Amino acid sequence: MKHLTPLILLACGSFNPITNMHMRLFELARDHLHQTGKYHVIEGIISPVSDNYGKQGLVAAKHRIAMVRLAVETSDWIRVDPWESEQSQWTETLIVLRHHFKELLKSHNIRKLCRDNTWSKEEAADPSIRSSVTDVNIAVRKIASRLKPDKEIIQDGNHMIIKTLSTFKNYIMDFEIGTEFEEDLTGVDGRKCMTCVTWDGDKLLCVQKGEKEDRGWNQWIEGNEMHLEIRACGVKCKQIFKKVQ
């Protein structure tokens, strides 16, 4: 499987109760991914939500876990994981993804699969790029590379709100120009930092002080395009957004 990208299928939900179609979805997804000739599905994980999800008629997590265990008894690659169900509050899918990635890396086989199969040619050739992203899990990087987010910017004097909207995750920055504030990036990359956004001529300059060196971004407009240059640890990437008429 050296030339195939290893994948783990993760399903989050209430599973109240689990059904035959839940199980069938795993099989259909695995068959499709294998047919592409690009991926190898090595495991399926069912992750029921906690009792604090707030869904009306939600059965206690211990019973939903027990039902899923019975449902996967005949499967040699799908399992149930109770971690999400044991949390004291509802947990965002992104946080669940990070948890499972960290847990799976503890397995030598998973670590080897990731090392051998998941780095692009550019990452393999440049250790500085590889080292800068090793703490951002594979699933999040794969999803982020395919997203086409929208940006909505609201300005009232020095008060700005920048909304980044996508099918995967929405993120909102609400700040005053020139005033440092604590930015909670838990839903983005699991970090918090002290952030300050200022004007540099006609560009917005953001500096984010935290565990990552030289982190921040520049943003400016050219005609009908908005340019966003993001940097961290000496690595830069750029996004270009087109104005919606």
Task: Give 70-125 pLDDT, tens digit per residue.
Answer: 999 999 999 999 999 999 999 999 899 988 888 877 664 554 544 444 444 444 44
Q: What is the DSSP string of 1-17?
A: -TTSEEEEEEEEE--TT
pLDDT at 135: 54
Confidence of residue 134 (pLDDT cuts 50, 70, 90): very low
Mark whether 123 and 238 lie in a shared domain.
yes
Q: What is the mean pLDDT of the chain?
A: 83
Q: What confidence score (pLDDT) does residue 187 get?
A: 60
Are 100 and 124 found together in one domain?
Answer: no
Question: Helix 93-105 to helix 138-146 angle, to the nearest 10 degrees?
Answer: 140
Residue 87 one-letter amino acid: Q
User: Residue 170's pLDDT band (boundaries 50, 70, 90)?
Assistant: confident
Same domain, 135 and 234: yes
In this predicted model, what pLDDT tens digit does every residue of 32-41 receive, in sequence order? Answer: 999 998 888 9
Residue 70: CATH number of its domain: 3.40.50.620
Q: How many domains does the chain have?
A: 2
- Among residues 78, 108, 138, the one where a domain terminates is 108
Which of the four pLDDT bands, split at 50, 70 and 90, describes residue 139?
Answer: low
**What range does the domain containing 104 cover?**
5-108
pLDDT band at 168 (very low <50, low <70, confident <90, very high): low
Is residue 40 packed enough to be buried (19+ CB in 10 Å), middle (13-18) or exposed (0-12)?
Answer: middle
Do the Cβ atoms of 206 and 193 come closer than 8 Å? no
Could you tell me if 71 and 173 lie in one domain? Answer: no
**Best-predicted range by mean pLDDT (35-39, 133-137, 201-205):** 201-205
Q: Are residues 82 and 191 in the same domain?
A: no
In this structure, the answer to whether residues 104 and 166 fall within a common structural domain is no
Per-residue confidence (pLDDT) for residue 203, from 0 to 100: 95
CB contact at 8 A, 26 and 11 = yes
On whether residue 113 sits in a domain, the answer given is no
Q: Do 83 and 23 belong together in one domain?
A: yes
pLDDT in tens, 54-72: 889 999 999 999 999 999 9
Residues 66 and 148 in one domain: no
Q: Are residues 127 and 201 in the same domain?
A: yes
pLDDT of residue 177: 96
- Shared domain check, 160 and 123: yes
Is 80 exceeded by the pLDDT of residue 147? no
Query: Has residue 31 been placed in a domain?
Result: yes
Stretch 159-164: mean pLDDT? 93
